[in-house]
Amino acid sequence: MAMHLSFFSSFFLIFIIISSAVKLSESARVFTIINDCQEPVWPGVTPGDNFNGGGFLLKPGQTSVFNAPIGWSGRIWGRTGCSFDKDGVGSCQTGNCGPSIKCSGSGKPPATLAEFTLASPDFYDVSLVDGFNLPLSVKAINGKGNCSTAGCDGDLRRDCPSELAVKSNGKTVACRSACDVFNTDEYCCRGNYGNPST
């Protein structure tokens, strides 16, 4: 779902700054990951070789910048409610990707995902197919072609139906997908519902 940002309230934001100094198809892409939330976020990235090993902490207002090579295809998501020891061992309430701060695989649903394929042209989207845990937007800067802002900048946790809500201490921390909860063809877009007309 692509949306234009009308305000910068409390959400996790990823900017993709595309270098225009050399031919677009030959240059690395610069990712600026911004935590615009009022809580700490631990971005998870897979594959994460060029992104601090696939996981790191961003305190409210913090930013990290990474270069991704041409041909990189992967996911970036925010993890919340994390606790890691001095060796980076621990877990997260949402978006968990294993027992380490460095993600070696995709985040556990529910998690809002930013998905990328860097080629010529680049493709990106924000997906809620695995549920929702944080508002997240992707904005391309200095790109060519359709470089719309993609994302979900509203906090869906506030309106999450009770049967989909993931709670911690009485507070909704994430919203599961209907497919994940009910596992029916209708909600999972499969069987008779596996085509655009239905």
Domain residue extents for the chain? 27-155
Residue 11: per-residue pLDDT? 54
Query: Whole-angstrom Cα distance, residue 198 to residue 181?
Result: 20
Q: What is the pLDDT of residue 43?
A: 96
Predicted model pTM: 0.86
User: What is the reported pLDDT for 109?
Assistant: 95
pLDDT at 174: 97
What six digits make up the tokens of 84? 């890691």
The fold for domain 27-155 equals Thaumatin (2.60.110)
Q: Which stretches in the chain have pLDDT values below 50?
A: 1-10, 16-25
Exposure pattern of 170-193 as b/e (b: 16+ CB <10 Å)? eebbbbbbbbebeeeeeebeeeee
Residues 6+ apart with CB under 8 A from 34: 12, 13, 14, 15, 58, 62, 63
The pLDDT value recorded for residue 26 is 61
Task: With H, G, I as helix, E, B as strand and everything else as coil, classify residue 82.
Answer: coil
